[in-house]
Chain A
Amino acid sequence: MIPLSWYLIFAAGLFVTGIFGVLTRRNVIGVLMGVELMLNAVNINLLAFWSYLYPESISGLVFIAIVFVAAAAETAVGLALIISIYRRRHTVYAEEINLLRG
């Protein structure tokens, strides 16, 4: 039997890896991959809480489904933006995308 803490520690590790990727990647597609890792870590946490603490409740599962939908929408729009930026500015590096620089 696996204690709940193992899943939480694993998800925390995945989340922190995602944060590190978001903050350090120069390539915007790499940043998006970091966001995906973070969303997955959140999903593991939600499912672990549902499975260990509230297995009878259905709302935890609905929450996970909504997170899936949000992740799919985020990726589609994010990649469309990246493709559009690449077409106009011929770069995918985050530090060169500075059109909104104040």
Chain B
Amino acid sequence: MTSLQIVFLVVAAVTLFSAGMVVSARKLMHAALFLVLTLMGVAFMFAMLGSGFFAVIQVLVYIGSIAILIIFAVMLTRNMMDSEAEASNRGWQILAPLSLLIFAGIITILSSWHAFTSVRDLSGTAGEDVVALGKALTDPNGFAIPFELASILLVAALAGAIYVAMERKGGRG
């Protein structure tokens, strides 16, 4: 066991525990805060995989905006939250073993893959080439069209979100 492996196991345990709390916490506000911890653990995993850029993007996009959006939504709908009410529906006794079954299935399929146990020393790698990524995203022979499509998707989502959430005057819109 190297120290890197111990660090990985600790982070993985914390992340999976907080993920479990996200799906099972009775109060939704607690679930949202545990979601922040989970996203932080995922950002740590990105950094361990040698991608510092995406670790930063994870913190900025997920923790900085998506988690904040979710916390806003939780607070805006707060007076509905009845802390006595059941947080999960009745099916969870069936669905918990089913989820474990899906997990076992995924692992079984993955373990039959030849590259499953491949090991690579990531400590010496320089990480991703952000300049090359930026050039590829704007290169017409590269990924310019997916990049433009993604920006159109973002604009459409922005306009759609404003339109859907806007309060219309005069009856039902």
Contact = CB atoms under 8 A, between A and B. Distances in A.
A81 B164 contact: yes
A59 B153 CA distance: 20
Interface range on chain A (Cβ under 8 Å from partner): 35 or more
A53 B117 CA distance: 11
A70 B12 CA distance: 25
B28 A27 contact: yes
Interface of A is mostly: helix
A53 B23 contact: no
Contacts of A77: 157, 160-161, 164
A1 to B, nearest CB: 5
A55 B165 CA distance: 42
B46 A47 contact: yes
Interface residues of B, number: 90
A100 interface: no
A12 B39 CA distance: 15
Give me the 5 closest cross-chain CB pairs, A-B, nearest first: A21-B23, A73-B157, A80-B161, A80-B165, A69-B150
A3 B69 CA distance: 35
Given A13-B103, A14-B16, A24 B91 contact: yes
A62 B132 CA distance: 11
Contacts of A25: 23, 87-89
Interface of A: 1-10, 12-21, 23-27, 29-30, 32-34, 36-37, 40, 43-44, 47-48, 50-53, 55, 58-59, 61-62, 64-66, 68-77, 79-84, 86-88, 90-95
A79 B172 CA distance: 20
15 contacts: A3-B117, A10-B45, A16-B99, A20-B92, A23-B91, A24-B92, A29-B77, A37-B22, A43-B58, A50-B51, A51-B120, A80-B161, A80-B165, A91-B80, A94-B89
Contacts of B2: 1
A19 B22 CA distance: 12
A61 B135 CA distance: 12
